[in-house]
Amino acid sequence: MGKEVKTLVNKKQNKGKYEVEFEGSELSSGVYIYSLFIEGIMVNTKKMVLVR
């Protein structure tokens, strides 16, 4: 459908490694697309399959 369903992090962070736990219990099974933005520029987009 092309709707944003969740934002995991939306704040400025210092350089380094970060981990974010995804809680998708309220979402349906299916294929989701997620993107990484740095300073407003999309740098990576991938697919994720959520299986219940």
pLDDT one digit per residue (tens) for the chain, 52 residues: 689 999 999 998 898 999 999 898 999 999 999 999 888 888 999 999 999 8
User: pTM for this structure?
Assistant: 0.72
All structural domains of the chain with their residue ranges:
28-52
Burial 2-33 (b: 16+ CB within 10 A, else e): eeeeeeeeeeeeeeeeeeeeeeeeeeeeeebe
Distance of alpha carbon 9 from alpha carbon 4, whole angstroms: 13
Distance of alpha carbon 15 from alpha carbon 33, whole angstroms: 24
